[in-house]
Amino acid sequence: MNNHVTVLEIDGKALEHNLHHFKKKLKPTTKILAVVKAFSYGSDDVLVAQFLQDKIDYFAVAYAHEGVALREATIQKPILVLHPQIANLQTVIDYCLEPNLYSFEILNAFLQMAKENSLTAYPVHLKFNTGLNRLGFLPSDVPKIIDELRGNQHVKIQSLFSHLVASEDLNESVFTHRQIESFKNIVQEFDAFLTYKPILHISNTSGTINYPEAQFDMVRIGIGLYGFGNDAIETSQLKNTHNLVSIISQIHEIEPGNSVGYNRAFISTKKTRSATIPIGHADGISRALGNAKGFVTINHQKAPILGNVCMDMIMVDVTNIDCKEGDTAIIFNHQKTIQELADAAGTITYEILTGISHRVKKVLKD
């Protein structure tokens, strides 16, 4: 049982609002893949998937064990594993997960395993590198892939896909259109070989927003589900899904000249009230947010962090805030606050969200 008093509340109504926001941008036939990797961007993948499974067409996770967790939670929708490893391919098969085959090494390993398991038309996904240079076959690999798959009855290409490099940056639109055209050329080569039509997808959240012509058959919505559109105007139309809250454990009166926390990073120059909150860098509060760079909100007022962030606690300045032990401390409950904390830590909102530790209790409120 997780009885940590620091809780991440996942807002189901906000999730649904954000999903419908993107659905309105799509053609009626366009499928939606919900990205729930990394514990659904720091929340809870099982809770989010259970909430969304009758509202979307596909799920995506990064690694096989994430897909296993969803299957064990009775999630029945197709699950694409974006970065499977050869060592986990039997697990992928055992749990009816669908692997992304991104290199000849993993393609041949899976073909061999499919043969050994006597599989027929097992769904696999082929990813192509059109510019990100992270994972994926090269466009020039298509003829060899076709040769490898010719006559093979053990697998079926469920989808062909790629990933946009800078879909949020309209200054890179020339590069993005080049990626889209490259993907179209890849698809044409497969059309001449296949007797069926695989699902085609290249758009992430920002691609869905900025490049409606690249919807193809499906879009992958990740950060957009959780309230961020990688654009201030778009984000303002979305709702925040992550509400991280805690309490005041203790309040101290700090006399002038006394210090707070490790290494005496804060030394009071005047009488100060310090409140201790049970959340620290082991829970996802970056040490970069110490020394007044970060804050929590108590009774509608900002309380800056005093001194260094500890592993399990932070101390905040409540000198001018009317509060008592046991009062609620809001770490964040709005995109604006999450963005402020990301800016203060010199990072991006993705890292603030995904950095929330698994030991923080998660609840979904719908």
Are residue 179 and residue 84 in the same domain, yes or no?
Answer: yes
Residue type, 339: Q
Are residue 187 and residue 312 in the same domain, yes or no?
Answer: no
Average pLDDT (88-115) is 98
Range of the domain at 230: 12-236
Give residue 300's pLDDT band: very low, low, confident or very high (50, 70, 90): very high
**Which pLDDT value is given to residue 1?**
67
- pLDDT tens, position by position, 22-54: 999 999 999 999 999 999 999 999 999 999 999
Are residue 203 and residue 298 in the same domain, yes or no?
Answer: no
Are residue 117 and residue 232 in the same domain, yes or no?
Answer: yes
Percent of the chain with pLDDT over 70: 100
Are residue 200 and residue 261 in the same domain, yes or no?
Answer: no
Q: Is the model's pLDDT at 3 over the cut of 80? A: no
Are residue 327 and residue 182 in the same domain, yes or no?
Answer: no
- Against a cut of 0.75, is the pTM above it? yes
Q: Is the model's pLDDT at 355 over the cut of 70? A: yes
Q: Which of 37, 127, 293, 362 is catalytic?
A: 37
Only one residue has tokens 């999630």, namely: 75
Q: Which one of 211, 236, 261 terminates a domain?
A: 236
Q: Which one of 199, 214, 236 terminates a domain?
A: 236
Average pLDDT (100-129) is 98
Residue 89 in any domain: the answer is yes
For residues 303 and 78, what is the distance between their CA atoms, to the nearest angstrom? 45
Residue 225 in any domain: the answer is yes
**Which pLDDT value is given to residue 4?**
83
Beta-strand runs (E) in the chain: 7-11, 31-35, 58-61, 79-81, 98-101, 122-128, 155-162, 199-201, 218-221, 242-247, 250-254, 259-260, 266-267, 272-277, 295-298, 301-306, 314-317, 328-332, 361-365
Average pLDDT (148-163) is 97
As a whole number, the mean pLDDT across the chain is: 97
Residue 6 in any domain: the answer is no
Are residue 190 and residue 282 in the same domain, yes or no?
Answer: no
Only one residue has tokens 């203790």, namely: 250
362 is a catalytic site residue? no
Give residue 130's pLDDT band: very low, low, confident or very high (50, 70, 90): very high
CATH assignment at residue 329: 2.40.37.10
CATH assignment at residue 42: 3.20.20.10
Are residue 122 and residue 267 in the same domain, yes or no?
Answer: no
φ, ψ for residue 252, nearest 5 deg: -115, 145
Are residue 71 and residue 213 in the same domain, yes or no?
Answer: yes
Q: Which of 13, 25, 262, 324 is catalytic?
A: 262
Under the phi-then-psi rule, with left for phi > 0, alpha for psi from -120 to 50, and beta for the rest, what region is 291? left
Report CA torsion sign: 349, 357, 70, 237. Answer: negative
- pLDDT tens, position by position, 180-238: 999 999 999 999 999 999 999 999 999 999 999 999 999 999 999 999 998 999 999 99
- Count of domains for the chain: 2
Are residue 28 and residue 131 in the same domain, yes or no?
Answer: yes
Are residue 216 and residue 304 in the same domain, yes or no?
Answer: no
324 is a catalytic site residue? no
Are residue 100 and residue 231 in the same domain, yes or no?
Answer: yes
- pLDDT tens, position by position, 323-338: 999 999 999 999 999 9
Q: Is the model's pLDDT at 103 over the cut of 90? A: yes
